[in-house]
């Protein structure tokens, strides 16, 4: 199968969309509705959509009377336990308008590293998509330890895209694209496309930042994009507010061209 081209983004049949905590929690919780609008529009076109959503800990924090993200594992797990339930309810409330049912999928890194749980996860995801359910994936923060964490949900999204052989991975953030340096600095230029295997020499990619609720940054997105591209999945990095355009329009964001799909994958 020919790798997906940027001009063909509207015909991608299986798409993973990842959204971060800072885009859907706190003052930005109102972005869930327009995000769901865009996902539902793609679903209506027959696209198989998987949403990888951060935000469980951030959503649970106010209910634990926490003003900032906890640093100890037990409190993170407690906040995730409360927040994951509330987060999925918010998504389902927004999806009800379209008659779409969400399915919750919680994973740890170990689930995708070992053959048996990986096969189980793949089978479950394939069945959910076959039933036209919209899987909402998150790291299983309630049981994950520091040693077995994905580290960030950008990486999780890339591994989920690889698991299900997605045509396209859309990584959403607060910035509309990848830039040659932090976009607030003078001289920063938007990067429209990254050819497969491009080392991005000369590009100043900041280290993973923390918004107070999230853990991702440009560095984690570039790393995730490379994982997905190696598996044959095209990647688009753009802003959460542009998700509707990202699923239909080739002009937004930064495009990471995919490499050849590994032999035996759905994309091969």
Return d(Cα 250, Cα 107) in angstroms, integer.
Answer: 31
Structure tokens at 51: 């949403």
Phi, psi torsion values for 159, nearest 5 degrees: -70, -35
Known binder of ligand: residue 18? yes
User: How many CA atoms, within 13 angstroms, populate the side-chain half-sphere of residue 143?
Assistant: 8
DSSP state, 268?
Answer: -
141 is in an annotated binding site: yes
Quick one: tokens of 201?
């020499």
Give the start-end residues of each E strand in the chain: 14-19, 48-53, 102-107, 134-139, 168-173, 178-179, 190-191, 193-194, 234-239, 254-256
Q: Is residue 153 part of an annotated ligand binding site?
A: yes
User: For residue 249, with 0-12 CB atoms within 10 Å meaning exposed, 13-18 middle and 19 or more buried, which class applies?
Assistant: middle
Q: Is 174 labelled a binding residue?
A: yes
Q: Which residues are annotated as a binding site for substrate?
A: 54, 141, 153
Numbered residues of the known binding site: 18, 54, 141, 153, 173-174
């Amino acid at each position: 199968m020919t790798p997906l081209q940027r001009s063909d983004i509207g015909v991608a049949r299986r798409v993973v969309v990842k959204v971060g905590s800072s885009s859907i929690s706190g003052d930005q919780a109102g972005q869930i509705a327009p995000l769901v609008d865009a996902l539902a529009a793609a679903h209506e076109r027959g696209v198989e959509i998987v949403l990888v959503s951060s935000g469980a800990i951030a959503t649970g924090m106010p209910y634990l009377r926490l003003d900032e993200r906890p640093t100890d594992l037990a409190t993170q797990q407690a906040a995730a336990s409360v927040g994951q339930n509330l987060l999925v309810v918010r998504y389902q409330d927004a999806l009800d308008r379209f008659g779409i049912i969400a399915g919750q999928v919680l994973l740890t890194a170990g689930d995708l590293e070992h053959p048996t749980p990986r096969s189980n996860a793949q089978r479950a995801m394939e069945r959910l998509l076959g039933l036209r359910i919209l899987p909402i994936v998150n790291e299983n923060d309630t049981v994950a330890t520091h040693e077995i964490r994905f580290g960030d949900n950008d990486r999780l999204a890339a591994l989920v895209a690889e698991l299900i052989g997605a045509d396209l991975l859309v990584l959403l953030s607060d910035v509309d694209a990848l830039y040659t340096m932090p976009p607030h600095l003078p001289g920063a230029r938007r990067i429209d496309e990254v050819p497969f295997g491009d080392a991005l020499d000369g590009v100043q990619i900041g280290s993973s930042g923390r918004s107070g609720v999230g853990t991702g940054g440009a560095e984690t997105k570039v790393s995730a994009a490379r994982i997905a591209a190696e598996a044959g999945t095209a990647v688009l990095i753009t802003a959460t507010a542009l998700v509707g355009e990202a699923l239909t329009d080739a002009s937004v964001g930064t495009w990471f061209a995919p490499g050849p799909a590994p032999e035996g994958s759905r994309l091969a």
